[in-house]
Each structure stands twice: as structure tokens, then as C-alpha cells.
Amino acid sequence: MEKNTKVKLGLIGLGTVGTGVVKVLKDFDNIEITKIAVKNINKKRDIDNLDTSLLTTDPFEIVNDPNIDMVVEVIGGMDPAYDLLKTAIENKKHIVTANKELLAKKGQELFNLANQNNVVILYEAAIAGGIPIIMPIKTTLAGNKINKIEAILNGTTNYILTKMEKEGVSYEEVLKEAQKLGYAETDPTGDVEGFDSAYKIATLATIALNQRVDINKIYREGITKISAKDMQNAKELGYKIKLIALARLTQDNKADVRVHPMLVPVKDCLASINGVTNSVVLEGFPVGRVMFAGPGAGEFPTASSVLGDILAITNSLGSTDILPFMKCNHNKSAEQIDINDTTNKYYLSVTATNTPGVIGTIGEICGRHNISLASVLQKGIDEKNTAEIVVITEECKENDINSAIEEIKNNSTIVKINNLIRVME
């Protein structure tokens, strides 16, 4: 690209992230925002001296404009984002997106289309907000064989779990407060049921493990069943409960990718990630174990990641092959393991009648299903003459623990199975 020529950029979306992008781009003379697609032109914006003539309610004006070099999409979701980005790529425009759902569901198709049209899709902001993670994996860590990712990728759930742990209050109470403060959506399903984290780990695992991961084969479990009692029990046993996005390669190179709550040992670095902070821990050779942590969302942190991608493309325009190391070249689809075939340690909480030998009964049942107990905790007897019994198992098969739970559930001394949570090694 000739010097002194401004890169022309079209922005789709002017919400929190889009507003941040407009604000930070004011300091860059070589980039010009020529059009911004919005839902409501008359909405008051928190941007000084915004040129309202740039606004349009038709985003297809942007993706079909022959003068625009790069499209930045920050609206999220599938519709209309998928059609918009597909059209933009076919029109040979470079893409910067923060859309984790779109990448998880249609990434393979869009990356292949981008390769055919010699354009690049960059998406640093789609995973872990302001934390640089995609570019480091593709560049500095490119020589590593990464075999494990353990990550906290959703600020809403981490905020809720942190408050529950510190204040001993229920999930429902904290969720209401988080919604009032704007940390949780009115409909929090995408966050609290683990969808958001699953979208992110699908893309992150594809890059880091170097195999295409199918979002539809990722086991997903949210935080809605975690109680204040579980938090207290975990603390007594030396753990904290976090919603963990996990991806690892087995010895035979299969991919174990899932999202669910885990008891994390207090000495593990992820245990110290609190509030809305996100963190990604990578393990591989030769680097060993490295941790990235920082703000997982927000106007300026996310705009920082978008800006980095915009500048990477801007500085490479004019090359015959733009940012070749950032293009997707994964040809192999991962053979993903079903959750029932995984091996884990487990936290199991049951309510049992206060009768002699009940702990022994639980131990015997577990033993019949090839499960050894690592620790046992009995909580006080209540007015109904029942007690809570908490066990942490040694490593065992998911199938075996499920079979054991069925037998425990049907035992006359057991009143209720309270919770089963996997435990981080």
C-alpha cells in the first residue's frame, strides 16, 4: 500500500466495544472510518464530535462498498453477522471480528473462504477480551507442541463464583446483584450455562492443539447448581470452585475439550483469578506452563485487541500474501472424546441419615465401581437427623462415578445427592 494512503475501514456495531474502537482510532491518522452500521441512528452516543453522516442502518452498505479495505464486526451473534462477513470476504475485504459464536459455529467455512480470496480474518478480541492470546500462540509460541489449556473465559460467572465464595451467599442472590451492576445480562443463560466459554474454547483449542474442534462435541455444564455449601466445603478441603474451559490432548492425540465447574486447588494460579478477570494457562513443550491474565471484557480492553488486529492488517496491506502466519491451515478434524470416556477426580456431596456405618457404605459402593476415596468430610447433624457427607475421589472413570452415584442414590441411608463436581488435578 502506498505511503500516505489512508486505510478505509467500515465498522459494524457501535455498542460498548464499537464505541471503544472509534475512540482509540482517533489517534491513528493512517486509518479512516468511512462508515458505521448501527441499529438506531438517533441514539445518543458517548463519543465526542461523532460525525453522524458516517452512520447507516444498512450494514450491507459497508460490506459491498468497493472503497472499504477492512470490515470490523462487533455486533456478535450469528444473524446477520454470518451473511455480512461472508459477503465482505467474497468482496475481498479483510476482517476483524470479536464474534466468538460465529467463529465457533462457522469458523472453518469463513477461514477457508478467506484463504480462497487472499484475505485474512483476525479475532483477538473474540477470546478473553483484552488479553493477547491468539497472536502469541501463532507467533511467539508457534514452535511449541501445546497439549493442555485450562482457562477462565467468562467474567460474569467468575464474578458470581468469587462473590459466592467470599460472602457465603447463594447463586441466586449474587446473580441478581450482578444483573443490577451490569455484570450479568437480563437473560444470563449464555454466560451461566457455559455457552460463552464453550464458543471461546472451541476456537482457542483449534488453534492451540492444531486440530479443528467441533463446538457440537464440547461437553458443557454451567454454574447454576453450585451452592454456598459447595463453596464452603471446597474451601475446607483446600479448593476454590471456578468455571473452567479445558482442552487437552490425550496420549493417542485425541482432544478432550469441555466446559464445566471444577474444584481448583488453592495453590494453582487459576484459583487466584477473581471477579471479572479472565485467564488462560497453556502447557506445552518446550515452554512448559505459561499463564495469561487480564480483563476479559469492557470497552477499552476489548477495543485494545480489536485495534491490535486493525494495525496488524494495516501494516501488512500491499503484501502479496497478508499475514500468512495468521491464516487458518488446519486440515485435520480432532477426534473428540465423549465426557463419559474421560478420567477425573470428583467432589461428591450427599445428604445421608445419621446411622452407623453410612460413610463405610459410600466407600464400599465406590470400591465396587473401581473408585478410591482421597478424603472424606462429615458436616454436622441437623434437626432431621441427617448429615452432609463430602468425599473427594482419586482419579476414576466418568462412567464409573455415574454408576456409583446410581447405586448410592438407591441406598436406603441416602436422602439426596447434592452435587457432583470434577476436581482439577
**One domain, residues 119 and 173:** no
> How open is the CA angle 96-97-99, to the nearest 5 degrees?
170
**One domain, residues 115 and 155:** no
Check residue 3 and give its pLDDT: 52
Q: Within 13 Å and on the Cβ side, how many CA atoms surround 89?
A: 25
Cβ-in-10-Å burial (0-12, 13-18, 19+) of 333 comes to middle
In whole angstroms, what is the distance from residue 105 CA to residue 138 CA? Answer: 21
Give the CATH number for residue 183.
Answer: 3.30.360.10
Domain assignment present for 331: no
Give the CATH number for residue 94.
Answer: 3.40.50.720
Domain assignment present for 168: yes
Domain assignment present for 176: yes
Per the CB < 8 A criterion, the answer to whether 237 and 396 are in contact is no
**One domain, residues 145 and 281:** yes
In whole angstroms, what is the distance from residue 316 CA to residue 332 CA? Answer: 28
Check residue 387 and give its pLDDT: 93
Q: What is the DSSP string of 35-100?
A: EEE-S-TTS--S-TT--GGGEES-THHHHT-TT--EEEE-S-SSTTHHHHHHHHHHTT-EEEE--H
**One domain, residues 405 and 278:** no
Domain assignment present for 18: yes
| Chain segment 131-157, per-residue pLDDT in tens | 999 999 999 999 999 999 999 999 999
| Chain segment 42-59, per-residue pLDDT in tens | 999 999 999 999 999 999
Q: How many separate domains does the chain show?
A: 3
CA quadruple 316, 319, 321, 322: dihedral, nearest 10: 10
**One domain, residues 248 and 357:** no
Give the CATH number for residue 365.
Answer: 3.30.70.260
**One domain, residues 151 and 269:** yes
**One domain, residues 155 and 277:** yes
The residues annotated as belonging to the active site are 200
Range of the domain at 95: 7-129+299-326
| Chain segment 157-199, per-residue pLDDT in tens | 999 999 999 999 999 999 999 999 888 999 999 999 999 999 9
| Chain segment 306-340, per-residue pLDDT in tens | 999 999 999 999 887 888 878 877 778 999 999 99
Per the CB < 8 A criterion, the answer to whether 169 and 163 are in contact is yes
**One domain, residues 106 and 155:** no
